């Protein structure tokens, strides 16, 4: 809804009242959240430009279509939205923000709510060309790819291998006679499986395959393969391609499979920046291949940011609904209250608001770290790469699993109505939980962080200097080894310090248990597997201390820039995040920190006070996320709060409601009811 | 797959090997789990009878159909399955187990995986007639209803009111002139919303409405209303009926809405067992209305049992897949291991096996309690009713939310492939998480239990005797008040006792905080709301102590009956349940029990030992759940373990894969790719 439209609509009085009693200016929050007045204006212009184009309307809501129709509708809408980007470009008005908005986060999820079949063209195909093609190869491919004259995808994951990419089975064998690579899928499990857009959309792909030349395997490399004829879209000879079938969510991403039967591609189709094969078949390794790390890191930062966006959407819906829904009297003689007045409801929702803010701040923090490290990388300094990797891994794992759980908390807080597709929760959960698995399965990622922590602990042990994000391990080393439990201090810095103490304690336990097992004659690898529960727990604790810290440090910066009334609200939210985290981690705190029953009661009181503080501002805050109805697509969460009218209107769109009697009555039911057999 | 078919199929060697190395007889487990040799044989016969009827096969897997087609297919299959029940009945072979199996649990979910549109006819319409109709009314309605000549549903929940039923708005106003009730929907929010089968299936309904007679409101009562013409199925005059739209799951349940515009029904259509309106409009209250409690209680027992069933299905799929999937080397020089050998994977899966068993045992326990209490009720003894209510509420809340979380743990443990519909996880999650909301929202239920706990604590305070399930509050009263933390003892009885101590501690805190707030002048109701976080936590702790206890007590009985090898396995599972619960409740244990760091380390070691013990038996145990492939409907979880072949075969069923080029290429993509505008 545009601001003009907002003025003309009847607003639910309960939600109107919430907006009136807000203690801060909602527009101030919107500016803070969207990066300033100018960015906010740009964002609104962009949303209006894409969402309010009448071509973007679907005749029937997607949830009523068949799987095939959903895909066709998504292609229709995607081509329209990318034409609109071309239009912007032709006017010199397109920017990186436009692409990002379309491909990730909330605007993208508004345009193609169940996933974009062209997404991987931009998110993986183009970046891989940019990162791994030689200048000559870029000259050949980038122009057409950038103009969308060809559509590519990135085919890495196979039916049998996902996270462990060294296990990939697809082969690319060099034939010096014809100067071609021959691609093959030697087993069923070697079929590419999952790449977005692969099934019926892309006509090109970067295919990751085991390189063989002169009878030797050199590991995995990327190759450009044409999948379909550009005129007819028919699969090329030897290419077996199709879709992998229906899924929990993201059904319009068009995830596909791909098999090769002696598919020949020219030698120059191997992306050669990180290794090349000469005409005669000689393999030459590139001096350094750290640059491929960059893309992976970038994608993980984007994921953390996406989690903040999806969660902000879910909590907007749940908070607005909770301000309109009235149920279950608190006082029998009074009117049923808005359900947001039930304290248990506040405990469900407000920490999710806080989480949205902290995840966003953490994404920005990680982004800064990423930029620092890549600047150092360009100077040949690789020192902070493992640290960045360790942090990106555990933050991706924690934010995706927390966000998915939080979306479900928001949904369940809306009772049965949250279960309806028109709430938009089911599709939002599908998007969010998918991130727990893609780009590195969460447990595997935690264990990668743990590996870095084990190395850091070993360094701490011998007094070596530690990287900034693990410096606390050094500071805590001595007291942790001595089993000293530092005194609890309930401020946010105190909570951060306590979480770091817990993380150090858990790192120590995991480290000691690996060492103990090794001392019993168990190999390092087996000892690590046997200790993996505690290793994952250590990585989790490490990431959680960073999240609170990132929120707190960002807050200090933000407080300098925003009006005091908004500052107070943000302070409440960050404090709530920390206090809620502390109460959920009581087991750890009681083990590693000297916290008394009185301290715990005080924490609980602080929690309850914060809920009370946030209560009058809750609707204002989610309004400040500034997510338009066209993105929310939720009968429960619309700006006007006309929940019941909207639910009813959505139900009437069901094709089943177009006829009073469904044909199954005559076909099946009547013969059944009228007989006794 | 029948046992004969099993013999003729190529079994994946990894999974075959698992079955060989099992330390117990799988058939023994199957007999234990299914209630003995005879019940197991019956169950298998029943599954074969229903599942392997060729009419029950769908041409296209449901996930590819449109919403409307899904409904039509569900009606087709439902009429077939109930015709088959009629067939059994005509042979005198039907039993209550057949109906239960069809309507709840795993066989039902195999026949109509996304919900049964006739379900509420059996689960609510018939039982309500049995429980709330007078003998004359039963004579009029039961015959046709039982023969399925009419199909009913139960219309209680409204758009504006779910759990808080006293707030329902639909009115039934008595008109003595015509001796009719006039039904009306005075507001939009008074529309019935959610009842299964209501939309296009049922032609009758029990409608719960506010009774008005002689100008006075007497609260809510049930009325039989004809919704549709028996010949044409057209809605009756004044009836506005349709479906509420697509949902996260259960899309073939045909949940509907229903509005009334001066709908007149004869006086005798009011179900009069608990209150009646005489011809002149005089209202007469029935002596006692506790009997309606019975149905609600029964449904909650069924829900706990369903949770055990759904979870056993999810964990069967995840365990079998984890025995077949190989990924990520533990030792670089060895073959990639079965992922079930990663200890983190064991921690994800094995506690869910244990949970299935404990939930089943708890359902049986609750069922016994229910039968005891209803026997006492029949003798006019209402004493244990509040206790049963308190226990059923918190167990429904805990088992549904734990089961939903556990299904997702199983799904995520299968990585990306768990996200595919062909895994069967998405639909299983849809079924499971729905139970968190229906039949009483979980937080509301926890608060109902808490109310009972507060009363019990008050009784303990003055030394009154307490009901058996809360007797521990009395035993712990003194030490809790004195803040004494009893010594930790790591056996299962020790863990139960520790959980009871924690529950008592939390009950005390909640009680004290309510009292403190009241002493500050806050009303009882507001004090309760302000303390509701702690009240819910107390109820949660109470329920969890009961779950461990129910598992442990059942185990003692079972151990007397099963072979020792199986007994050992069950002992491991129940112990794992208790130890895992303890480690997750460390914060509570450290607060209320005297547990040392050494004790905690010992618990962790026990956990790891149990995982190692269960590892060789995991596949055998889930085989022992004896869920046939026709119910699992999972490419990842089939008995033969031919995971990749089955995933591929499922993908090929997608209608998108029937054509090499989708029409959207010519329609949308080609014009887009070929132009630069």
pLDDT tens for B535-569 read 999 999 999 999 999 999 999 999 999 999 999 99
Q: At what angle do helices B37-51 and B67-90 cross, to 10 degrees?
A: 130
B279-299 average pLDDT score: 78
For residue range B303-316, what is the model confidence (pLDDT) as tens digits?
999 999 999 999 99
Joined together, the tokens standing for residue A444 give: 């595997």
Q: Do A648 and B246 touch (CB under 8 A)?
A: no
Confidence of residue B298 (pLDDT cuts 50, 70, 90): confident
Domains within chain B, CATH numbers bracketed: 150-290 (2.40.110.10)
**Tokens 């103490």 appear where?**
A501
Give the integer Cα–Cα distance in Å for B573 and B548. 11
B647-660 average pLDDT score: 98
**CB-CB neighbors (< 8 A) of B408 in chain A:** 433
pLDDT exceeds cutoff 90 at B476: yes
pLDDT score of B290? 57
Joined together, the tokens standing for residue B634 give: 């999972």
**CB-CB neighbors (< 8 A) of A441 in chain B:** 415
For residue range B381-405, what is the model confidence (pLDDT) as tens digits?
888 889 999 999 999 999 999 999 9
Q: Do A533 and B68 touch (CB under 8 A)?
A: no
CB hemisphere CA count around B262 (13 angstroms): 0
> Strand, helix or coil at B337?
coil
**Tokens 């009006």 appear where?**
A563
**CB-CB neighbors (< 8 A) of B148 in chain A:** 672-673
Residue A96 neighbours by CB distance under 10 Å: 7
Q: For the residues of B42-83, what is the DSSP string, one character each?
A: HHHHHHHHHHT-GGG--SS-GGGS-HHHHHHHHHHHHHHHHH
Q: Do B246 and A660 touch (CB under 8 A)?
A: no
Q: By mean pLDDT, which of A484-488, A517-521, B89-93, B230-234 is the weakest?
A: B89-93
For residue range A585-598, what is the model confidence (pLDDT) as tens digits?
999 999 999 999 99
**Tokens 């670089």 appear where?**
B332
Give the integer Cα–Cα distance in Å for A337 and A225. 61
Give the integer Cα–Cα distance in Å for A475 and A501. 9
Give the integer Cα–Cα distance in Å for B166 and B209. 10
Give the integer Cα–Cα distance in Å for B651 and A580. 44
What is the rounded radius of gyration, in angstroms, for the C-alpha atoms of chain A?
27
Of the candidates A408, A439, A441, A489, the residue annotated as catalytic is A439
pLDDT score of B6? 61
For residue range A319-346, what is the model confidence (pLDDT) as tens digits?
999 999 999 899 888 999 999 999 999 9
pLDDT averaged over chain B?
95
Mutate to test the interface with A, among B55, B58, B61, B67 (most CBs of A within 10 A): B67
DSSP state of B383: T
Give the integer Cα–Cα distance in Å for B182 and B190. 15
Confidence of residue B164 (pLDDT cuts 50, 70, 90): confident
| C-alpha dihedral (A203, A209, A215, A217), degrees to nearest 10 | 160
Q: For the residues of A200-263, what is the DSSP string, one character each?
A: TT-SEEEEEEEEEETTEEEEEEEEEEE-B-TTT-PBPTTEEEEE---BSS-TTS--EEEEESSE
Distance from CA of B96 to the nearest CA of A (A): 19
Query: Which pairing describes strands A239-243 and A256-260: parallel, antiparallel, or unpaired?
Result: antiparallel
Q: Do A163 and B419 touch (CB under 8 A)?
A: no
A439 catalytically annotated: yes
Give the integer Cα–Cα distance in Å for A119 and A122. 6
pLDDT score of A6? 60
Give the integer Cα–Cα distance in Å for A538 and A301. 21
Give the integer Cα–Cα distance in Å for A648 and B189. 10
B157 is in an annotated binding site: yes
Q: Which residues of A are annotated as a binding site for FAD?
A: 157, 196
Q: Do B662 and A444 touch (CB under 8 A)?
A: no
B203-232 average pLDDT score: 97
For residue range B603-633, what is the model confidence (pLDDT) as tens digits?
999 999 999 999 999 999 999 999 999 999 9
User: In sequence order, what are the residues at sequence separation of 6 or more whose Cβ sits closer than 8 angstroms to the Cβ of residue A475?
Assistant: A500
What is the rounded radius of gyration, in angstroms, for the C-alpha atoms of chain B?
27
Across the interface, of A67, A483, A677, the residue whose CB is closest to B86 is A677
B630 near B539, Cβ under 8 Å? no
pLDDT score of A290? 57
A165-176 average pLDDT score: 96
pLDDT score of A7? 63
A388-415 average pLDDT score: 97
Question: What is the percent of chain A where pLDDT is above 70?
Answer: 98
Q: Do B433 and A246 touch (CB under 8 A)?
A: no
DSSP state of A65: S
For residue range A506-519, what is the model confidence (pLDDT) as tens digits?
999 999 999 999 99
For residue range A53-68, what is the model confidence (pLDDT) as tens digits?
999 999 999 999 999 9
Distance from CA of B628 to the nearest CA of A (A): 23
pLDDT score of A288? 63
Give the integer Cα–Cα distance in Å for A9 and A642. 10
Question: What is the percent of chain B where pLDDT is above 90?
Answer: 87
A235-251 average pLDDT score: 98
Q: Do A669 and B151 touch (CB under 8 A)?
A: yes
Give the residue on A whose Cα is nearest the Cα of B665: A233
pLDDT exceeds cutoff 60 at B291: no
Q: Give the DSSP H or E segment for B238.
A: none
Dihedral sign, CA of A74, A75, A79, A82?
positive
B279 near B178, Cβ under 8 Å? no
B34-55 average pLDDT score: 96
B198 near B255, Cβ under 8 Å? yes
CB hemisphere CA count around A40 (13 angstroms): 17
Mutate to test the interface with A, among B324, B583, B587 (most CBs of A within 10 A): B587
A466-489 average pLDDT score: 97
> Strand, helix or coil at A182?
strand
Better-scored residue on pLDDT, A380 or A432:
A432
Give the 3-state DSSP-derived string for B130-193, with helices as H, strands as E and coil as C: HHHCCHHHHHHHHHHHHCCCCCEEEECCECCCCCCHHHCCCEEEEECCCCEEEEECCCHHHCEE
B495 near B503, Cβ under 8 Å? no
Count of pairs with CB atoms under 8 A, one residue in A, one in B:
386
Q: For the residues of B74-129, what is the DSSP string, one character each?
A: HHHHHHHHHHHHHHHHHTT---HHHHHHHHSHHHHHHHSTT--TTHHIIIIIHHHH
Give the integer Cα–Cα distance in Å for A488 and B202. 62
> CA geometry: angle at A413 spanning A409 and A417, to 5°?
115
């Amino acid at each position: 809804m545009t601001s003009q439209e907002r003025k003309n609509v009847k607003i639910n009085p309960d939600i109107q009242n919430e907006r009136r009693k807000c203690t801060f200016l909602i527009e101030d929050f919107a500016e803070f959240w969207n990066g300033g007045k100018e960015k906010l204006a740009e964002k609104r212009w962009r949303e209006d430009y894409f969402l309010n184009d009448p071509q973007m309307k679907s005749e029937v809501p997607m949830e009523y279509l068949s799987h095939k129709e959903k895909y066709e509708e998504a292609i229709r809408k995607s081509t329209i939205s990318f034409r609109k980007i071309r239009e912007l470009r032709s006017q010199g008005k397109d920017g990186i923000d436009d692409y990002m908005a379309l491909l990730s986060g909330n605007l993208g999820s508004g345009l193609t709510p169940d996933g974009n079949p062209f997404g991987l063209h931009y998110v993986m195909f183009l970046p891989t060309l940019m990162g791994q093609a030689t200048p000559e190869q870029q000259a050949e491919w980038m122009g057409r790819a950038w103009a969308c004259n060809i559509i590519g995808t990135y085919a890495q994951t196979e039916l049998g291998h996902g996270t462990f990419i060294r296990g990939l089975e697809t082969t690319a064998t060099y034939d010096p006679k014809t100067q071609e690579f021959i691609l093959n899928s030697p087993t069923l499990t070697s079929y590419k499986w999952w790449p977005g857009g692969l099934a019926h959309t892309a006509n090109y792909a970067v295919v990751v395959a085991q390189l063989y030349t002169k009878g030797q395997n050199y590991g995995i490399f990327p190759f450009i393969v044409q999948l379909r004829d550009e005129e007819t879209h028919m699969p090329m000879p030897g290419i077996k391609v199709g879709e992998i079938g229906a899924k929990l969510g993201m059904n319009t991403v068009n995830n596909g499979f791909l098999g090769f039967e002696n598919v020949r591609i020219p030698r120059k189709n191997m992306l050669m920046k990180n290794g090349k094969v000469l005409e005669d078949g000689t393999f030459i390794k590139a001096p350094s291949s750290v640059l491929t790390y960059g893309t992976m890191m970038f994608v993980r930062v984007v994921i953390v940011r996406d989690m903040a966006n999806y969660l902000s959407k879910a909590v907007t819906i749940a908070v607005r609904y909770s301000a309109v829904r009235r149920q279950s009297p608190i006082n029998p003689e009074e009117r049923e209250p808005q359900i947001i007045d039930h304290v248990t409801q506040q405990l469900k929702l407000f920490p999710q608001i806080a989480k949205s803010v902290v995840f966003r701040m953490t994404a920005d923090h990680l982004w800064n770290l990423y930029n620092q490290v890549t600047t150092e990388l360009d100077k040949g300094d690789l020192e902070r790469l493992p640290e960045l990797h360790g942090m990106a891994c555990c933050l991706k794992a924690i934010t995706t699993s927390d966000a998915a759980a939080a979306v479900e908390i928001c949904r369940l807080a809306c009772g049965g109505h949250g279960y309806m597709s028109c709430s938009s929760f089911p599709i939002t959960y599908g998007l969010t939980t998918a991130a727990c698995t893609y780009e590195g399965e969460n447990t595997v990622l935690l264990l990668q962080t743990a590996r870095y922590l084990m190395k850091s602990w070993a360094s701490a042990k011998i007094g070596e200097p530690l990287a900034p994000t693990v410096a606390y391990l050094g500071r805590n080393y001595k007291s942790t080894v001595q089993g000293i439990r530092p005194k609890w201090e309930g401020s946010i810095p105190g909570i951060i310090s306590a979480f770091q103490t817990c993380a150090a304690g858990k790192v120590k336990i995991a480290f000691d248990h690996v060492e103990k097992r090794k001392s019993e004659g168990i190999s390092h690898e087996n000892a690590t597997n046997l200790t993996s529960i505690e290793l994952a727990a250590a990585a989790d604790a490490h990431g959680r201390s960073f999240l609170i810290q990132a929120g707190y440090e960002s807050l200090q910066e933000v407080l300098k820039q925003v009006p005091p009334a908004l500052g107070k609200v943000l302070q409440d939210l960050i404090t709530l995040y920390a206090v809620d985290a502390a109460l959920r981690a009581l087991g750890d705190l009681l083990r590693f920190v000297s916290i008394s029953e009185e301290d715990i009661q005080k924490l609980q009181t602080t929690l309850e006070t914060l809920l009370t503080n946030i209560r009058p501002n809750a609707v204002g805050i989610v309004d400040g996320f500034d997510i338009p109805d066209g993105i929310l697509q939720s009968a429960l969460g619309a700006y006007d709060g006309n929940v019941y009218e909207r639910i009813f209107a959505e139900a009437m769109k069901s094709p089943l409601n177009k006829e009073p009697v469904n044909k199954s009555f005559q076909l099946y039911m009547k013969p059944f009811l009228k007989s006794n057999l």
